[in-house]
Amino acid sequence: MTATWIRIVASYLHLLAVAVYLGGSVAMEFIMGPAQKFIPPAQAQVIGQKSADKFLILVWSALVVFPISGMLLFFGIQDQSVVSGTQFFTTTYGRTLFAMMFLWLVLVINGAIITFIYRPRLNQKASSKGGGAGVQANLEAQIQAAKKVSLITRIDLGVALFIVLLGASMVYGNGIL
Amino acid sequence: MKVIAISSSAQTIFNFLFSASWAIYIGGALIMAIVWKPLQKGLAPQQTAVLCEKMGEKYKWVALSSLSVIGISWILLGLSDHEFFRSGSLGIKGVTYLQGAIGAVCWVGLVVVVMLMGVKLHPNSHKRASLKDAELSLEEMKLRRRKSIKKMDLLLKAELSIALIAVFTLAWSQAISK
C-alpha cells in the first residue's frame, strides 16, 4: 500500500497529465488552429511552429507522467490481486487496465511519428535548391505533413477520450472490457 | 445511502463526462497560459488582437459548456454515490463534506471568472469605436482597452489558480476513497 500523500500527489499529477493531453489537444486543434486562418499565412506558420513545439514538450511530459503516476495509483488500490498473473487477461478489470496501457503505447508511437517524422518536415526552411520546382515540392511536402499531423492529432484525441472512458469505468466498477 | 439510484453503467458515463469536461476545461486554460500567453510577446499587436478575439470567443463557449457538464454530472454522481451519503465515521464524512464544499466554491468561482471574462472584459478589449464613443478621445479608448486587458490577465491567473485547487481537491478525494 502506498502512503496517502503519495496517492494524492500521484492522482494530482495523473489528472493534470490527462488535462494537458486531452484538453491541450482540443485547445490546439479546435481553438488555436482555426484562429490562425485569420492572419497572414507566413505569420500563421511561425505561430503554428512555435505553439506546436511548446505543446509537444507538454505532450511528452504528460506521456511520461501517465505510467509513473498510474503505477503509483495502482499500488495504492487495496485489491491488487485482481491483476496478478493470468487475471491480467481473464478479469474485466485486468483487461481494461491492459487496454489502457496498450492505448498509451499507441499515443507514444503517434507522438514519436509527429515529433521525429512530420515536425522536421514542417520546420524545413524554404530553399532555392532545385529552383522553382524544388520550392514547390517543398511546399507540397509541408502541406501534406500538416494534414497528416492534424489527422494523427484527431486520432490521438479519440484514443485519449476512450482511455478516459476506460478509467471512468474502473472508478465505478471493474472496467468495461 | 443513495439519494438517487442509477446503474453502474450510467455512473461510468457520468464519471466519463465529468472527467473529460474537467480535462478539456483545464487543458484549455493551461494551453492559454503556457503556450498562447508567451507567444503574444513576439507578435504584431494587430495580429495578437485578431487571434485573441477569435480564440477568446471559442474558448468562452468551450469553457462554459465544460463547466455546465461538470456541474450536472457532478451533482448526479454525488447524489448517486458519494462517501458523504454512505454510512461511515463522522471524520470521513467531515473530510468529504469539506472536499465537496471546496469543489463547489471552486466551480462557482470558475463560472463567475469565465462569465466576467467572456461577457464583459473580452468584448471590451476588442471593442471598436462606435458613435456612442465619439466623444472619447483615442487615448481614452486605448486606456480603457488596456485596463480591460490588464484585468483579463489578472482573471486568467485567478482562473488557473482556482482550477488547480479544484484538481487538487479531486485528487485528494480520489486518493482517500480508494
Residue B8 has pLDDT above 80, yes or no: no
CA distances from B20 to B73, B76, B131, B170 (A): 11, 16, 44, 13
How many Cβ atoms sit within 10 Å of the Cβ of residue A37?
A: 9
Give yes or no for A23 touching B (CB within 8 A): yes
**Which of A7, A11, A14, A96 should be substituted to probe chain B, the one whose Cβ sees the most B Cβ atoms within 10 Å?**
A11
User: Residue B134 — very low, low, confident or very high, per pLDDT cuts 50/70/90?
Assistant: low
**Distance between CA B75 and CA B68 in Å, rounded?**
11
Distance separating alpha carbons of residues B172 and A93, to the nearest angstrom: 23
Are B62 and A168 inside 8 Å of each other by CB?
A: no
For residue B9, which residues of chain A lie inside 8 Å, CB to CB?
173
Between B12 and A113, the higher pLDDT residue:
A113
Q: Flag if B178 and A15 touch (Cβ within 8 Å).
A: no
Domain boundaries, chain B: 8-176
End-to-end CA distance of chain A: 26
The alpha-carbon gap from A90 to the nearest alpha carbon of chain B, in Å, equals: 21
Are the C-beta atoms of residues B15 and A14 closer than 8 Å to each other? no
What is the pLDDT, as a whole number, of residue A120? Answer: 85
pLDDT at residue B25 is higher than 90: yes
Residues 77-116 in B contacting A (C-alpha not used; CB under 8 Å): 81
Facing residue for B175 by CB, picked from A4, A36, A161: A4
Q: Can you tell me the mean pLDDT for B135-156?
A: 76
pLDDT in tens, A92-138: 888 888 899 999 999 999 999 999 988 888 877 655 565 667 777 77
Mean pLDDT rounded to a whole number for chain B: 80
Interface subset of A 108-147, CB within 8 angstroms of B:
none
Contact B23, B62 (CB under 8 A): no
How many residues are given for chain A? Answer: 177
At residue B6, the 3 state secondary structure works out as coil
Residue B3 has pLDDT above 70, yes or no: no
Do A43 and B47 lie within an 8 Å CB cutoff?
Answer: yes
Measure the CA–CA gap between B55 and B22, rounded to whole angstroms. Answer: 19
Give the span between the Cα atoms of B28 and A100, in whole angstroms: 23
Q: How far is B131 from chain A (nearest CA, A)?
A: 27
Confidence at residue A17, expressed as pLDDT on a 0 to 100 scale: 94
State the nearest Cα–Cα gap between A37 and chain B, in angstroms.
9
Residues of chain B with Cβ-Cβ distance to A78 below 8 Å are 178
Do the chains contact at B28 and A27, CB–CB below 8 Å? yes
Per the structure block, which three cell numbers stand in for B58?
471559442
Question: What's the count of helices (H) and strands (E) in chain A, helices before strands?
Answer: 8, 0
Give per-residue pLDDT as tens, B75-106: 888 777 655 555 555 555 566 788 888 989 99
Check whether A62 has a pLDDT greater than 70.
yes
Average pLDDT value for residue range A48-72: 91
pLDDT at B135: 62
The pTM is what? Answer: 0.84
